[in-house]
Amino acid sequence: MSKKVLVLGEVREGSLRNVSFEAIAAGLQIADGGEVVGLLVGDAVADFTQELIAYGASRVITVEHPHLKNYTSDGYSQAILAVVEQENPEAIVFGHTSLGKDLSPKIASRLQSGLISDVTEIQGAGDDTVFVRPIYSGKAFEKVKIKDGIIFATIRPNNIPPLVKDDSRTGEVSSVSVDITNLRTIIKEVVRKSTEGVDLSEAKVVVAGGRGVKSGEGFEPLKELANLLGGAVGASRGACDAEYCDYSLQIGQTGKVVTPDLYIAAGISGAIQHLAGMSNSKVIVAINKDPEANIFKVADYGIVGDLFEVVPMLIEEFKALKV
Question: In this structure, are residues 314 and 227 in contact, taking their beta carbons and an 8 Å threshold?
Answer: no
Identified binder of ligand FAD from the candidate list 255, 257, 263, 279, rule CB under 6 A: 255
Identified binder of ligand FAD from the candidate list 20, 49, 158, 288, rule CB under 6 A: 288
Was 252 annotated as part of a binding site?
yes
Best CA proximity match to 209, nearest among 201, 69, 13, 217: 217
Query: What single-letter amino acid sits at 125?
Result: A
Please report whether residue 306 would count as binding ligand FAD according to CB under 6 A.
yes
Please report whether residue 95 would count as binding ligand FAD according to CB under 6 A.
no
DSSP-derived pairing of the beta strands 130-135 and 140-144: antiparallel
Please report whether residue 89 would count as binding ligand FAD according to CB under 6 A.
no
Please report whether residue 128 would count as binding ligand FAD according to CB under 6 A.
no
CA distance 227 to 38: 32
Identified binder of ligand FAD from the candidate list 132, 273, 315, 318, rule CB under 6 A: 273
The residue length of the chain stands at: 323
How many other CB atoms are there within 10 angstroms of residue 322's CB atom?
6
Identified binder of ligand FAD from the candidate list 47, 220, 261, 290, rule CB under 6 A: 290
Angle at 321 between CA 315 and CA 323, to 5 degrees: 80
Task: Find the part of the chain contacting ligand FAD (CB under 6 A) among 63-71, 124-132, 173-181, 236-244.
Answer: 236-244
Question: In this structure, are residues 277 and 258 in contact, taking their beta carbons and an 8 Å threshold?
Answer: yes
Identified binder of ligand FAD from the candidate list 239, 245, 249, 258, rule CB under 6 A: 239
Question: In this structure, are residues 218 and 308 in contact, taking their beta carbons and an 8 Å threshold?
Answer: yes
Identified binder of ligand FAD from the candidate list 62, 129, 236, 281, rule CB under 6 A: 236
Q: Least distance to ligand FAD from the beta carbon of 77, Å?
A: 28
Task: Find the part of the chain contacting ligand FAD (CB under 6 A) among 40-48, 188-196, 248-256, 315-323.
Answer: 248-256
The secondary structure element, H or E, covering residue 210 is none
Q: Least distance to ligand FAD from the beta carbon of 224, Å?
A: 16
Please report whether residue 250 would count as binding ligand FAD according to CB under 6 A.
yes
Q: Least distance to ligand FAD from the beta carbon of 107, Å?
A: 27
CA 243 → CA 96, 206, 213, 235, 247, distances in Å? 28, 20, 11, 11, 9
The secondary structure element, H or E, covering residue 225 is helix 220-228
Q: Least distance to ligand FAD from the beta carbon of 317, Å?
A: 18
Please report whether residue 220 would count as binding ligand FAD according to CB under 6 A.
no
Q: By rule CB under 6 A, what string of x and - marks binding of each residue 177-216 to ligand FAD? A: ---------------------------------xxx----
130-138 contacts at long range (C-beta below 8 A, 24 or more positions apart): 134/280, 137/253, 137/272, 137/273, 137/275, 137/276, 138/257, 138/275, 138/276, 138/279, 138/280
What does the radius of gyration of the chain's CA atoms come to, in whole angstroms?
Answer: 21
| Nearest CB to ligand FAD, comparing residues 17 and 237 | 237
Please report whether residue 264 would count as binding ligand FAD according to CB under 6 A.
no
Q: How far is residue 215 CA from its own chain's centroid?
A: 28
Q: Which residues bind ligand FAD (CB under 6 A)?
A: 210-212, 236-239, 250-255, 267-269, 271, 273-274, 277, 287-290, 293, 306-308
What are the binding residues for FAD? 211, 236-237, 250-254, 267-274, 288
What are the binding residues? 211, 236-237, 250-254, 267-274, 288
